[in-house]
């Protein structure tokens, strides 16, 4: 029998910190056994999401300044990894899994999400592959790329007692904005990377793509493996998210 996942399509286009705090609230509630497995698919605000290694870096404060000067909020991410960019030409996903032995299944969840995204990109006409491209930003073994040349999806995980969060971003349109903000941000963090590895679905198919169509295709790819049921963010989750915003706001 297929596992049932509650699908939530709720965006916070003008509240980048709350957007991340909602994912954190869902994770905490799943860990306490208050909610079941959820998948939130959204169109995010403009933000640079910094990982724990970034926050510990001597160049972090300057990197946050560089992001803000270019119109991007600076936030501290929930999942692991290095600085990544979200903007209204991307699709964010947050997959929350209640699991008593969450750490034991880290690799399986990474593999599964990479396959789901690669399958969706294939359906859209992109030559999609799983794996890290040399020089990519926020590098990871389960990134999804086009033609083994340009990164389109990045993913990270956060594990707590009783649950896991798998979160990431698919770049649909406007890869130039990602390059433009990450060059000074990564310079401040003293991270080496190759800006030519940033890609998008638009770059591969030659024209801007409709984000809702891409989101639907991603959801359909999930539906090939799971039983999805529509749901809403409840007041309790939103209230808990409000209490967590300070955890994700950069100084």
User: Would you give per-residue pLDDT tens digits along the chain (251 residues)?
Assistant: 889 999 999 999 999 999 999 999 999 999 999 999 999 999 999 999 999 999 999 999 999 999 999 999 999 999 989 999 999 999 999 999 999 899 999 999 999 999 999 999 999 999 999 999 999 999 999 999 999 999 999 999 999 999 999 999 999 999 999 999 999 999 999 999 999 999 999 999 999 999 999 999 999 999 999 999 999 999 999 999 999 999 999 98
pLDDT in the model for residue 25: 98
Alpha-carbon distance of 179 to 69, in angstroms, equals: 15
Q: Is the pTM of this model over 0.85?
A: yes
Q: Which architecture, in CATH terms, is 4-247?
A: 2-Layer Sandwich (3.30)
For residue 123, what are the CA distances in angstroms to 90, 117, 204, 214, 226?
17, 10, 13, 10, 18
Alpha-carbon distance of 234 to 229, in angstroms, equals: 15
């Amino acid at each position: 029998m297929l596992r049932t996942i509650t699908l939530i399509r709720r965006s916070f286009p003008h509240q980048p910190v709350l957007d991340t705090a909602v994912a954190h609230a869902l994770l905490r509630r799943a860990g306490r056994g208050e909610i079941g497995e959820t998948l939130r698919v959204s169109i995010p605000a403009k933000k640079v999401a910094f990982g724990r290694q970034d926050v510990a870096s001597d160049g972090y404060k300057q990197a946050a300044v560089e992001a803000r000067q270019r119109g991007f909020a600076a936030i501290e991410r929930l999942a692991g990894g290095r600085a990544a960019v979200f903007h209204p030409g991307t699709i964010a996903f947050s997959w929350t899994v209640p699991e008593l032995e969450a750490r034991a299944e880290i690799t399986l969840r990474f593999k599964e999400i990479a396959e789901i995204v690669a399958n969706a990109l294939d359906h859209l006409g992109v030559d999609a592959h799983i794996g890290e491209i040399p020089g990519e930003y926020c590098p990871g073994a389960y990134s999804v790329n086009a033609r083994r040349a340009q990164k389109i999806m990045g993913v990270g995980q956060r594990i707590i007692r009783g649950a896991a969060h798998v979160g990431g971003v698919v770049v649909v349109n406007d890869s130039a904005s990602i390059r433009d903000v990450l060059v000074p941000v990564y310079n401040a963090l003293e991270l080496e990377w190759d800006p030519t590895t940033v890609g998008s679905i638009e770059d591969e198919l030659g024209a801007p793509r409709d984000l809702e169509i891409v989101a639907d295709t991603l959801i359909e790819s999930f539906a090939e493996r799971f039983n999805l049921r529509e749901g809403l963010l409840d007041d309790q989750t939103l209230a808990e998210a409000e209490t967590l915003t300070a955890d994700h706001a950069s100084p």
